[in-house]
């Protein structure tokens, strides 16, 4: 039974992997006209952020004249590994991916290295001692994002505060780092306590479900710290269903600043959002061209980001693109 499911999954994945390209393989600047082919292994479609990120990558590839082979791993590492292996077999010129989790990539990246296909990490980092396995890492500083969230809480609170934390996907860089950064900041105020912390897998339904459980098990919740907007929006639904007022009875801090999150912030249902910029496409395509041409690229490219209060969200919303 298990084998059947695995085989079916592999077939679906392979279809998805080839769907966005012509399936002929070989670019390299390899195509007869010098077209670069990129294989991109996306995490999934778990959040508004991810949807905006995918759109940015697909649109930027098109305008950069890069042929994109795109796959959606449905938040499963095994699917990403299969997609990357398929890109290696298809002899793409460059592989880019946003790792679902931090660990377990060395074997597949060694296969890419042996096939002389450069790899670019986007959005999320991996945890490996061998930095020769990838050319560069383009994305946010997630520890810094967690710190910004913690700093706002320290500055906007007095007296004892009970926080519940909605973590991102277990083992994912943004979940690990946003937790670490937040904890480092709130340490300065012993009256702020994280009384419960659980993963909501970066999804709205996950955030809602975990928040419902928190509301039953925790008698006194002052603040929700959600590692992304979607989980915060799910928490809002749970808080309302419990007869409380989000943003007033329970304060909410999230990360991302996608349109739905910003709307809730402007409406007073979220109190503070730390931005995580999903529009990585243009920078990724520039880096890919350089890497394929054998040019030097920086080891790390950090995305510039800001934060939003309720007033700032009201001002920024009309121009928010995603």
Q: Applying CB under 6 A, which residues contact ligand AHR? A: 46-47, 49-50, 123-124, 174, 202, 228, 230, 255-256, 276
- Helix H segments across the chain? 2-19, 48-64, 77-89, 106-114, 142-155, 173-186, 204-217, 229-241, 259-266, 281-292, 310-316
Shortest Cβ 171–ligand AHR spacing (Å): 12
Shortest Cβ 205–ligand AHR spacing (Å): 13
Give whichever of 135 and 256 is closer to ligand AHR, judged by the CB atom. Answer: 256
Shortest Cβ 173–ligand AHR spacing (Å): 7
Shortest Cβ 201–ligand AHR spacing (Å): 9
Residues 6+ apart with CB under 8 A from 195: 162, 163, 164, 218, 221
Give whichever of 224 and 276 is closer to ligand AHR, judged by the CB atom. Answer: 276
* Residue 320 CA from chain centroid, whole number: 19
Give whichever of 83 and 292 is closer to ligand AHR, judged by the CB atom. Answer: 83
Question: Residue 257: which of 301, 179, 310, 194 has the closest Cα?
Answer: 310
Question: Residue 58: which of 74, 45, 46 has the closest Cα?
Answer: 45
CA–CA dist 31, 62 (Å, integer): 16
Give whichever of 36 and 235 is closer to ligand AHR, judged by the CB atom. Answer: 235
CA–CA dist 28, 90 (Å, integer): 11
Give whichever of 93 and 145 is closer to ligand AHR, judged by the CB atom. Answer: 145
Give whichever of 50 and 82 is closer to ligand AHR, judged by the CB atom. Answer: 50
Shortest Cβ 43–ligand AHR spacing (Å): 7
Q: Which bin fits 99, alpha (ψ -120 to 50), beta or left (φ > 0)? A: beta
Angle, to 10 degrees, between the axis of helix 204-217 and the axis of helix 229-241?
Answer: 50
Shortest Cβ 220–ligand AHR spacing (Å): 28
CA–CA dist 173, 179 (Å, integer): 10
């Amino acid at each position: 039974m298990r084998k059947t499911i695995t085989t079916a999954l592999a077939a679906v994945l392979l279809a998805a992997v080839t769907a966005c390209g012509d399936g002929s393989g070989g670019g390299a600047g390899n195509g007869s006209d010098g077209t670069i082919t990129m294989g991109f292994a996306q995490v999934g479609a778990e959040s508004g952020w991810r949807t905006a990120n995918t759109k940015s990558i697909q649109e930027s590839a098109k305008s950069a004249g890069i042929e994109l082979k795109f796959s959606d791993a449905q938040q499963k590492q095994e699917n990403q590994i299969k997609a990357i292996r398929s890109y290696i077999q298809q002899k793409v010129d460059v592989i880019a991916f946003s790792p679902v989790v931090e660990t377990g990539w060395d074997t597949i990246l060694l296969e890419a290295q042996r096939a002389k296909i450069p790899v670019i990490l986007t959005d999320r980092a991996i945890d490996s001692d061998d930095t020769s396995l990838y050319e560069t890492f383009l994305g946010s500083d997630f520890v810094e994002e967690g710190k910004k969230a913690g700093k706002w809480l320290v500055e906007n609170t007095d007296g004892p505060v009970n926080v519940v934390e909605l973590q991102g996907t277990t083992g994912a860089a943004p979940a690990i780092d946003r937790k670490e950064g937040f904890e480092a900041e709130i340490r300065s105020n012993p009256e702020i306590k994280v009384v419960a912390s659980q993963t909501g897998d970066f999804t709205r339904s996950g955030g809602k479900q975990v928040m419902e459980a928190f509301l039953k098990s925790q008698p006194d919740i002052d603040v929700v710290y959600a590692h992304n907007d979607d989980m915060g929006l799910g928490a809002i639904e749970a808080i309302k269903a419990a007869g409380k007022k989000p943003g007033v009875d329970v304060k909410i801090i999230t990360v991302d600043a996608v349109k739905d999150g910003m709307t809730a912030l402007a409406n007073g249902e979220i109190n503070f959002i730390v931005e995580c910029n999903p529009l990585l496409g243009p920078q990724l395509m520039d880096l890919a061209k350089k890497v394929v041409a054998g040019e030097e690229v920086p080891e790390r490219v950090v995305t510039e980001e800001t934060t939003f209060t309720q007033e700032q969200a009201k001002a920024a919303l009309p121009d928010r693109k995603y």
